[in-house]
Amino acid sequence: MKLPFLLIGLLSAGVALAGPPAPKQEGIEGKNYKWNAQEGEKIEALKLKGDKTRGEEAYEICGACHLPSGAGRPDGTFPQLAGQHTTVLIKQMADIRAGLRDNPTMYPFAATLVDPQELADVSAYIEAMCIPVEHGKYDGADAAIKVSQGKELYEKQCLECHGKNGEGDKEKFYPVIAGQHYKYLLRQMTEIRDGHRRNANPDMVKVIKPYTNDQLVAISAYQASLKMPGSMCKPKAAKKK
């Protein structure tokens, strides 16, 4: 086990591990930034075959925040991970470990993965999980209108990369967004638009830069409504009265 059960319980209750900050690398603000440079431990991990059994053990530390199911938190503090492409998981974890993506909450945990093989193992385990059907969605009184507006915007500029059902593209490192929490999607797109996501894809920045806050709400509302056929968990059976 990665951590004693007591420590995992403390983490679940919101007690964070103290750790050194990630070393800073030049991100999208720099002249020499390359969004997906194939180098370092990332490229090593991508070449390896992940072992899901070993990955399940490595995931125990992740489950404290992202939950054993990989469902994350509907309030957007921790994203839904289950079913995410291994390429995306490896890139994001490697970027956090290398100081290319700022995530001081996750850095101490990502830093516990000992080598590229463990990075590949935990990613393989996460990718194999079914995507939870129950997740945070936009619940405003104007939900139907917002989802409709978001669908129009999504199909115009997001569908080509993220797919009809939010399936992303494993080979191109485009993430699965089906089943993702509305509040997490909104936060990430806002940070990308405003230049705070230092490892962002420059192509996405160009697309998202002109969007208003209201448009980002609409796109996030629609994205959170997407489901991937064959990848979603089975809905929970209704409780008998």
3 domain-assigned: no
Residue at a domain's end among 76, 101, 129: 129
Domain extent for 165: 143-223
What's the pLDDT tens digit per position in 139-197? 999 999 999 999 999 999 999 999 999 999 999 999 999 999 999 999 999 999 999 99
103 found inside a domain: yes
Provide the number of structural domains found in the chain: 2
Domain membership flag for residue 73: yes
Q: Does 147 share its domain with 125?
A: no
Domain assignment present for 196: yes
Is 34 part of any domain? no
With a cut of 60, say whether residue 4 has pLDDT above it. no
Confidence of residue 12 (pLDDT cuts 50, 70, 90): very low
Q: Is residue 7 one of the residues assigned to a domain?
A: no
CB 45 within 8 A of CB 120: yes
Q: pLDDT digit string (tens) for 108-142? A: 888 888 899 999 999 999 999 999 999 999 999 99
Q: Can you give the CATH number for the domain in which 200 is found?
A: 1.10.760.10
Name, in order, each residue with C-beta under 8 angstroms of 166's C-beta and a sequence gap of 6 or more: 176, 177, 178, 179, 180, 223, 226, 227, 228
Q: Would the pTM of this model clear 0.75, i.e. be above it?
A: yes
Pair (47, 114) in one structural domain: yes
From 174, 175, 176, 211, select the one nearest 190 (Cα to Cα).
211
In a domain, 118, yes or no: yes
Query: Both 56 and 99 in a single domain?
Result: yes
39 to 22, 36, 42, 94, 169: CA distances (angstroms) = 18, 9, 6, 10, 20
The candidate with the shortest Cα–Cα distance to 134, out of 239, 241, 14, 225, is 225
Are 117 and 88 contained in the same domain?
yes
- In which region does residue 176 sit, left (phi positive, over 0), alpha (psi from -120 to 50) or beta (all else)? beta
- Domain-embedded: residue 121: yes
Same domain, 98 and 51: yes
- Residue 9: the pLDDT is 36
Residue 6 has pLDDT above 60, yes or no: no
Same structural domain for residues 110 and 186? no
How far apart (Å, rounded) are the C-alpha atoms in residues 101 and 24? 9
Q: Let me know whether 78 and 102 are in one domain.
A: yes
Domain boundary residue, one of 70, 101, 129? 129
Q: Are residues 113 and 189 in the same domain?
A: no
